[in-house]
Structure 1
Amino acid sequence: MDLVSMIADERRRMAELVETLKPSQLYTNSLCEAWTVHEVAAHLCAPWIFGARRIVPAVVRHGFRVHRANAELVRDLATDLTADEIALQLRMNAEFLFNPRVVDPLGQLTDLQVHGQDICRPLGLTRDLVPERMLLSLEFLLGPKARGSFVPRGRLDGLRFLAEDLDWEGGQGLLTVRGRGEAVLLAVTGRPVVLDELTGSGVAALRARLSA
């Protein structure tokens, strides 16, 4: 399956998830900063609704911090779209490819996987991630393209990450962080809720960086 097909499949899976949620679940706080579940879902529609002309200047304005830029845009979008409309948008635009220099297609794939867990974990829902896609996102997050946008500079310095269920490791350093691929993915992208699921000599350093 190519990258565009993977992204399309993740959007369709997200549409199915959103359609199952009750109003009380939609307005539950997600793992993503101050966003509700509804706002996280709406955010995933931003690339084709706002387009590069509005998103890229926001990213630049926020020092290439993609999530901060999106926060500037997403609340109005969540007000405009119901859950059913979000699901419809995700299906209709499943194969949409947003590919400016700042955010490449691997960023979209990663965003969908991480935000799916941002929604499911607070709701006590299980959402299995596809191992092949997790591997692609882990490689992306530990690489240079994600630095300063998905991963703040300095967060991963001196740390080596091992996803034991995926037989994968990445990063450079003497301090190790070990766990399941999903937990590593969420930790690298700044979700401290998974830190207790990780082991290794680098967990304390990562915990301190996420709480700073």
Structure 2
Amino acid sequence: MSELPQLIRTERLALADFLETLGPTQWATRSLCDEWTVQDVAAHLAWAPLLRPSEMIPAIVKARFRLNKASAEIAKRWAERGPEAIVAQLRQNAETDAKPPGVPEIAALVDAVVHAIDIRHPLSSPRPVPPEAFTPVADFSVQAKWPMNVSVGGSARKRLAGVRLVAEGYNWSYGEGHEVRAAGDTVLRILNGRGATRQELTGDGATHLAMRLNP
């Protein structure tokens, strides 16, 4: 995908622009990521692309090999650097095309898009995901295998067994079975383990999927 680097830059800069409009209460709001504030998520996005094994491995050992716990503790330390430093680093990442070593480039776009939803949704400030970014993010999210899907609660394909999930307003769907329709950002939340409410879903499979997502 020759346009992938530009998509990543666009999404990173869009989030940086949004974060600059936030006040202290908004930065401290709980995000869609468990126990992470908006500031924690933004800090993770800012510095995770620069994370090296020499920093990550000790954190994983300290967290008793629980990847999500290790990532959360590192993000909270980074968050202490403050909003101004976070936004500056996000802009630098966009300029340098920074990404974590050992992961596919598409993962940087997934992080930028999905974590922006993690931040925006609790603040009631949605931004439609551009179609050119939505499709590759959705495709990667639904096909991700271990260990790439550890942080999102496992396989999205298993989550959608027996369901055909359709993203409204996008030329994208996945699966076979009872149809469930949802807005694009809701679809990405489902694919990445963030869940969705029954009110956000329509179709003859909506109740079934909602119960699966919210046991």
TM-score (norm 1): 0.83
SS of match in other structure, 2:32 = coil
The one-letter amino acid of 2:200's match is E
- The match for 2:160 among 138, 147, 156 is 156
1:95-114 map, 5 Å:
95-100=97-102, 103-114=103-114
* TM superposition shift of 1:187: 2.0
Q: Which moved more, 1:181-190 or 1:86-95?
A: 181-190
SS of match in other structure, 2:7 = helix
- The match for 2:204 among 197, 201, 204 is 201
Query: Corresponding residue for 1:82?
Result: 82
The one-letter amino acid of 1:199's match is T
Give % identity: 35
* TM superposition shift of 1:91: 0.9
Do the aligned partners of 2:166 and 2:180 also contact (CA within 8 Å) in 1? yes
* TM superposition shift of 1:158: 2.5
Q: Which moved more, 1:90-99 or 1:35-44?
A: 90-99
Q: 1:211 to 1:48 in 2, by over 3 A?
A: same
Q: In structure 2, what is the Cα distance between the partners aligned to 1:24 and 1:33?
A: 18
Query: Corresponding residue for 1:174?
Result: 177
Query: Corresponding residue for 1:131?
Result: 131
Q: In structure 1, what is the Cα distance between the partners aligned to 2:125 and 2:133?
A: 20
Q: 1:160 to 1:56 in 2, by over 3 A?
A: farther
Do the aligned partners of 1:4 and 1:97 also contact (CA within 8 Å) in 2? no
The one-letter amino acid of 1:88's match is A
* TM superposition shift of 1:71: 1.6
* TM superposition shift of 1:34: 1.6
Q: 1:194 to 1:185 in 2, by over 3 A?
A: farther
TM-score (norm 2): 0.82
Do the aligned partners of 1:187 and 1:195 also contact (CA within 8 Å) in 2? no
Q: CA RMSD in A?
A: 2.5
**Number of matched residues?**
205
Do the aligned partners of 2:186 and 2:196 also contact (CA within 8 Å) in 1? no
The one-letter amino acid of 2:35's match is A
Query: Corresponding residue for 1:92?
Result: 92
Q: 1:144 to 1:49 in 2, by over 3 A?
A: closer
What are structure 1's unaligned runs of at least 5 residues? none
Q: In structure 1, what is the Cα distance between the partners aligned to 2:174 and 2:153?
A: 14
Q: Does 1:190 align with 2:193?
A: yes
The one-letter amino acid of 1:122's match is P
Do the aligned partners of 1:99 and 1:105 also contact (CA within 8 Å) in 2? no
Q: 1:195 to 1:141 in 2, by over 3 A?
A: farther
SS of match in other structure, 2:152 = coil
The one-letter amino acid of 2:169's match is D
Do the aligned partners of 1:187 and 1:194 also contact (CA within 8 Å) in 2? no
1:34-49 map, 5 Å:
34-49=35-50
